[in-house]
Structure 1
Amino acid sequence: MYRRGFSLALLSTPVALMLARPAQAGGLASLSDAEANRGLKTALEQGALTAVRLLGVRDGFLANPKVRIPLPSALQDASRLLRAMGQGRQIDELEVTINRAAENAVPLAKNLLVNAVRTMSVADAKNILTGGDTSVTMFFEDRTRNPLSGQFLPVVKQATSKVGLAAKYDRLAGKAAGFGLLKAEDASIDQYVTRKALDGLYLVIGEEEKKLRQDPLGAGSAILRKVFGALK
């Protein structure tokens, strides 16, 4: 008989495949709930720390097309006119600045991300393992988005305050939002950058966790090799 409970939750979508291969299923059945739980926590913590390391450096956002933060849509629409008015340098400076701000803010996330993993419940683990491709992102967002927004925002403000165009954008965007011409969440460039920085961070964490599942032998951790190797 195969183990039920949390170990079985590790199977997620490949259930039929695992049951069809007794040798590998036997390896999975040998896992205890504690091992399964510890393996997932190790994977999530390793993925979170790797994401912080990749993004919290110069060009971590700016040179990565998956997470590079573009100018707010309203400013993109106006950029051609602004360039024609001689403000092209400020447009370019602002785009670099908002990405640098995200790169500077991301290292602040380390402690909160690690704490979220270490205090994860068995129910959280089951939801992650059975929740599909976005379950990791959803877990971290639920646990950390609000407090991290508060930590990121001052760092972002400090960076954008040095670019005159940012203040001009806020004044115009605030009026546009008041008339319903712009989403309220995009009315402040600092709020916009903070949100995009967190979106990028959670995206990369999810990608790193998927890599660990796909290549447990390359993870460099005995518990990861045992737990996720049983899923191969």
Structure 2
Amino acid sequence: MRRALIGLIASGALAASTTVGAQSLGDRFKQFMGSVDGGNANSSAQQLPESEVVSGLRAALADGASAAVTQLGQNDGFWGDAARRIPLPGWMGKTSGVLRGAGFGDQMDSFQLSMNRAAEQATAEAGPIVRETINSMSVRDAYDILQGSDTAATEYLRDKAGDDLAAKFEPIIANTTAQSQAVSRYESLTSKAKPMLQFVPGMNLDVNDYVTQQALDGLFAVIGQQEQKIRANPAATGSAIVKKVFSTVSR
């Protein structure tokens, strides 16, 4: 039966082988930075120190990142959200009908739940790394971010903190998945099928690496959504410094 299942896995895998008004925040910030350099912005903007502009951006990003970590780093943060739920690994998802027909449906469901629980536990620990990255942001970083796309800050965070977050996530995920019998069965099956699957493009048979990458993708997707909301309405964060900075720059 196991040999037949491995064959099914291998064959299936191989076969499947905001705008914010007329003027954007970036334009507003560029206008403000021009006034710092002696441009023609109004006196109100000229009187606002660079440190306050950076503090305002940091506060806004911290608010958005905190919301994302809180949303995903709780029970059902991934599993209870259809948009963020981590799917079965590609080859397993594409052959799920065959596997379920062979009687492995319950094990697959248990395996998927275990992956999502692991991601939730890991994401709950993301706060300090994200916060440190935000706090290290320079005036130049802030200028580039506000000139960038609606998710420029998210891209900055992923570039600066992605590797550190992955290093933080993986041992937490490994510890969680090690307690799952469903994950143990998955690893046993894939270890036997690996000789037949290793040449399939994009194949990732390491469950902990797979969950780590999926967790990071989910986290930054939600941070990106939060960033877009902040850019659309910065005053809605409820932060006095954010409101002060962006209302001044927008004049």
TM-score w.r.t. structure 2 length? 0.76
Kindly indicate whether the alpha-carbon contact (under 8 Å) linking 1:176 and 1:182 is maintained by their aligned counterparts in 2. Answer: no
Kindly indicate whether the alpha-carbon contact (under 8 Å) linking 1:174 and 1:188 is maintained by their aligned counterparts in 2. Answer: no
- Please tell me whether residue 58 in structure 1 is matched to residue 75 in structure 2: yes
Matches within 5 A, 1:41-52: 41-52=58-69
Distance in 2 between the 1:173 and 1:120 partners? 46
- Please tell me whether residue 171 in structure 1 is matched to residue 191 in structure 2: yes
Q: Look up the match of 2:151.
A: 134
Distance in 1 between the 2:125 and 2:158 partners? 15
Moved more, 162-171 or 130-139: 162-171
Distance in 2 between the 1:176 and 1:49 partners? 43
Q: What do the CA deviations read for 1:163-207 (whole angstroms, capped 9, x no partner)? A: 23431454266435532x1415x2212111100101111111122
Give the CA deviation at 1:55.
0.8
Code of the residue aligned with 2:238 in structure 1: it is G
RMSD (Å), alpha carbons:
2.6
Q: Look up the match of 2:35.
A: none
Code of the residue aligned with 1:32 in structure 2: it is P
Kindly indicate whether the alpha-carbon contact (under 8 Å) linking 1:112 and 1:144 is maintained by their aligned counterparts in 2. Answer: yes
Kindly indicate whether the alpha-carbon contact (under 8 Å) linking 1:173 and 1:182 is maintained by their aligned counterparts in 2. Answer: no
**Aligned partner (choices 205, 211, 225) of residue 207 of structure 1:** 225
Distance in 2 between the 1:128 and 1:176 partners? 45
Matches within 5 A, 1:92-103: 92-103=109-120
Q: Look up the match of 1:3.
A: none
Q: What do the CA deviations read for 1:136-164 (whole angstroms, capped 9, x no partner)? A: 22211122111211111122222323123
Q: What do the CA deviations read for 1:64-115 (whole angstroms, capped 9, x no partner)? A: 2332211111010121111111110011111111111110001211111100
Q: Which runs of 5+ in 2 are unaligned?
A: 1-23, 33-40
User: Which structure has the bigger radius of gyration?
Assistant: 2
Distance in 1 between the 2:225 and 2:45 partners? 24
Distance in 2 between the 1:145 and 1:60 partners? 20
Q: Which runs of 5+ in 1 are unaligned?
A: 1-9, 19-24
Q: 4+ residue runs of structure 1 moved beyond 6 angstroms? A: none
Q: Look up the match of 1:147.
A: 164
Higher normalized contact order (CA 8 Å, seq sep 6+, divided by chain length) = 2
Distance in 1 between the 2:132 and 2:29 partners? 31
Q: Look up the match of 2:173.
A: 156
TM-score w.r.t. structure 1 length? 0.82
Q: Look up the match of 1:195.
A: 213
Distance in 2 between the 1:56 and 1:111 partners? 13
Q: Look up the match of 1:112.
A: 129
Distance in 2 between the 1:169 and 1:117 partners? 42
